[in-house]
Structure 1
Amino acid sequence: MLNEAEQSQKVFQVLDQLGISYTLHRHPAVYTVEEAMKHDAGIEGLHCKNLFLRDHKGRNHVLVVTENLKAIQVKEVGRKLGLGNLSFASPERLMKYLGLEPGSVSPFGLINDENNQVLLILDETLRQTELINFHPNVNTMTVTLRYDDFEVFVQSTGNPSQVMAL
């Protein structure tokens, strides 16, 4: 398991290798959208929430990314994907598949999914933003990057991904 400094450095290394520019913001640790909102007022761009889910048999794992304040009907997502009822995955599954601790869930965790087992679902509304924000796999920092560059990152992971209306 990587420590916080190693987690974030791995993300920065991948972004640098892809030629993606970003702005780094440091802040106290945040574990919820509400806590994050206290520290992201001065950070430009769309702020996101990331939900790591599993199907009822634990065979399929899904990372859902949407706007931070948007309510998501988890069961509806599962139905749309043909996976049945989805529920939140355990911290142990989060560590196994994305190498992350609760509170640090981010699409950047896909760099730890060497077998590309996690399906990434992006809310179609994300495409409407120029700048987007995520934790660099630690919840004491936020990275701002262009949405177009985020798509380059997503493609580089090799994970299956899909854009859908949530």
Structure 2
Amino acid sequence: MTDAPASAAPKTRQELLAYLDSLGISHATKDHAPVFTVAESVSLRDEIPGGHTKNLFVKDKKDQFFLLTVEENASVDLKTVHTIIGAASKVSFGKPEKLMEYLGVIPGSVTAFGAINDVHNNVTFVLDEDLMKEEVINCHPLSNDATTSIGREDLIRFLEATGHTPLVLKVTA
């Protein structure tokens, strides 16, 4: 990872935001009560403009892991998405242990910002084409008690800075 030391402990929100600053990436973070589902986060829409995300951490039979970041209300067909993302087989949800090991987050806090913890590039990041039409993308800053807003190009720049080349694909119905 560029400019960020690899360590066993997952990065904190403060470390993530400092990393964004070091890249010259503009961002804004709003604290709120923890939200575990898209339904719980709907109340924040008026306060936080932009595209809100839903993240699916999936794997194929060869243990290739993918993080699908889509607009919060979009649906993804898990029976066919493997043909779009280049998986070796149909995908299933990754286990919470792998989510913590690779992205440094727990279920309910899954975010594209987890790339900062994926120092061995175990995860392929897939950004949905429809979500990327939004000027501003909103993601959890490694925990579900805040939302960080970032420009769509800056999200790609962040992912690339962590050593990941995100795939921008139409993965939603």
Q: Check whether TM > 0.5.
A: yes
Give, in angstroms, the shift of residue 96 of structure 1.
Answer: 1.2
Q: Secondary structure at the match of 1:76?
A: coil
TM-score (norm 1): 0.92
Q: Secondary structure at the match of 1:38?
A: helix
The one of 62, 67, 73 equivalent to 1:69 is: 73
Cα deviation, 1:102-151, whole Å, max 9, x if unaligned, reads 11100110110111110001111122111110000000000011112112
Say if 2:136 is the partner of 1:144: no
Aligned match of 2:5: none
Moved beyond 6 Å, runs of 4+: none
Aligned match of 2:83: 79
Aligned match of 1:54: 59
Q: Where do residues 1-166 of structure 1 align in structure 2 (5 Å cutoff)?
A: 2=9, 7-57=12-62, 59-80=63-84, 81-166=86-171
Give, in angstroms, the shift of residue 2 of structure 1.
Answer: 5.0
Which runs of 5 or more structure 2 residues have no equivalent in the other structure? 1-7
Query: Structure 1: how far apart are the matches of 2:93 and 2:46?
Result: 28
Query: Structure 1: how far apart are the matches of 2:44 and 2:111?
Result: 17
Query: Structure 1: how far apart are the matches of 2:67 and 2:146?
Result: 20
1:73 aligned partner, one-letter code = D
Bigger shift: 76-85 or 23-32? 76-85
Residues paired across the two proteins, number: 163
TM-score (norm 2): 0.88
